[in-house]
Structure 1
């Protein structure tokens, strides 16, 4: 078993002994952050995740105007409160993320195995401590803490979105402007995202080789499903993989993909490029461009500006439930480990609930109206 002092992120690994610093406090703080970053890299966390956590620690230090070993509970609480009281206050989910991040940072610097408590006591006479506990952090009482205006689209709204995307193509053609091919690509892309319940990163990461034949449904040809290789990762794991099958209710996507691959994509002149979705510059489409495609169609359709691309994924989950697919099947299709996560995405319509109610009442005729 390795010595505790050899743990990645230990103080002696990032703060060399015997070195005299002009500003010891600043040097120790920077070494703390470097050590925390090292500790997280050994857990294979994403670089952007680590960077965002370090930025938050710096923000708190700047707000408090003290170093972590000098922080008090009231200081961290005041920082969260200041984020709530600005012109655009943070959401509850963001506040929870801040608290969780700061709790992890304070756990790291106060863990005696990493040596920071001894280092700070020797240099400054005070050691860092855990300041965030159950009694001064947000209580988790609901599964979903996002913007309540974010919701699944109704069938009519999905159709309006697609009609607007197709209409954008016709408008460009009528005006004789450039961009017709890109508009056709965007329309096909949005339909594919909905038809397979894809995340933005999953959609732009698709390659031609990810189209799958389903021997159980030969009529769909090579479009019997898509192999997602860039699923959401967690806790430093590689991207999760899954195969999303084409469901009969979404069989219209077969014709959409056929037109994209046979007629539209070749006109981009990308040659042997492996990506399914490409740009005029013969490159893979970016996540920003996918967002822009949705925003353009959403605004043209007159839908609420709070609706985002991810709402198409919510819509897919909801509509599969309304098509009476089992919960486990829906969770597998969208790559959820827990059914509770799928339930958060679900917002079944009144029509569906009334249909279930009528089905239940048919088994109990004595409860039905007699007149």
Structure 2
């Protein structure tokens, strides 16, 4: 995922610091489109939200000062996700300001296209696939894969599965446990490779 993030960042400004620099200037629709998908990727990866939830976020749902976004998930269940990364916080702050140049007056969506309309799930999926291909990734990348990666990284970092369940908006913890199986498989692969190396060293 790092290659995807790095490539997406390079297409819009290079870094969150440079994104913040030209806030008062006009930007091209091409650059803004790249900035929208980069912002989407960062939010998907950091918060683990579903793509439908991401596209449903409105400006009123975002508390920039506190770094909190209110999500309305399946069954209209409400939960909070957090921008714990300073990079994501600065990116979103800059994006909201820059989007004013393109945003239609009747659009309250957080993420908008260069035509000013709310960016829908199909738009995000399409742009994400294009970015991944341009970044040289041979695997087809989907928004759900970013959500999956977010959950897996948290579990591998030792975050309690109950907190991951709440973050992802899973009603049943059994759904969240799928991600623990993935990390267990990863652990087994690592241990297997390590054992193979030890045997090889012992034979030398």
TM-score class, shorter-chain normalisation, is: 0.7 to 0.9
In the superposition, the TM-score normalised over structure 2's length comes to 0.75
Q: SS of 1:277's equivalent?
A: coil
2:130 paired with 1:296? yes
- How do 1:136-151 residues align onto structure 2 when only pairs under 5 Å count? none
Does the alignment pair 1:162 with 2:162?
Answer: no
Bigger RCO of structures 1 and 2 (CA < 8 A, at least 6 apart): 2
2:90 is equivalent to residue 242 of structure 1: no
The superposition leaves residues 35-91 of structure 1 with CA deviations (integer Å, 9 ceiling, x where unpaired) of xxxxxxxxxxxxxxxxxxxxxxxxxxxxxxxxxxxxxxxxxxxxxxxxxxxxxxxxx
Partner of 1:137: none
Q: Is the contact made by 1:269 and 1:282 (CA closer than 8 Å) also made in structure 2?
A: yes
The Cα shift of 1:350 comes to 4.1
Superposed displacement of residue 190, structure 1:
1.1
Check the 8 A contact 2:128/2:141 in 1, yes or no: no
Q: 1:281-304 CA distances to partner (integer Å, 9 max, x unpaired)?
A: 322111111001210121122223
Alignment equivalent of 1:284, drawn from 108, 118, 127: 118
* Aligned-CA RMSD value: 2.5
Which residue number corresponds to residue 338 of structure 1? 172
Q: Secondary structure at the match of 2:138?
A: coil
The change in CA–CA distance for 1:245 and 1:181 in structure 2 (over 3 A counts) is: closer
Specify whether residues 183 and 246 from structure 1 end up closer, same or farther in structure 2 by C-alpha distance, changes over 3 A only.
Answer: closer
Matched-pair contact (CA < 8 Å) for 1:162–1:297: no
Return the match for 1:202 from 29, 38, 53: 53
2:187, 2:127 → 1: CA distance? 30
Which structure 1 residue ranges, 5 or more long, are not aligned?
1-157, 172-176, 214-220, 233-237, 355-371
Q: CA deviation at 1:278?
A: 1.2
Q: Give, in angstroms, the shift of residue 211 of structure 1.
A: 1.3
Q: Deviations over 1:172-223 (max 9, x none)?
A: xxxxx8512111111111111111101110010000111136xxxxxxx242
Structure 2 counterpart of 1:227, from 70, 74, 83: 70
Q: How far off is 1:324 after superposition?
A: 1.4
1:255 correspondence with 2:90: yes
Which aligned pairs between 1:65-104 and structure 2 lie closer than 5 A? none
Assess, with a 3 A threshold, how the Cα gap between structure 1 residues 336 and 271 changes in structure 2: closer, same or farther: same
Secondary structure of the corresponding residue to residue 37 of structure 2? helix
CA distance in 2, matches of 1:274, 1:296: 26
Q: Cα gap change, 1:160/1:275 in structure 2, threshold over 3 Å: closer, same or farther? A: same
**Structure 1 residue corresponding to 2:40, chosen from 189, 211, 214:** 189
Show structure 2 runs of 5+ residues with no match.
Answer: 15-27, 192-204
> Which runs of structure 2 are paired with 1:323-334 in the superposition (5 Å)?
323-334=157-168
- Cα 1:304–1:341, aligned 2, differ >3 Å: closer, same or farther? farther
2:198 matched to which residue of 1?
none
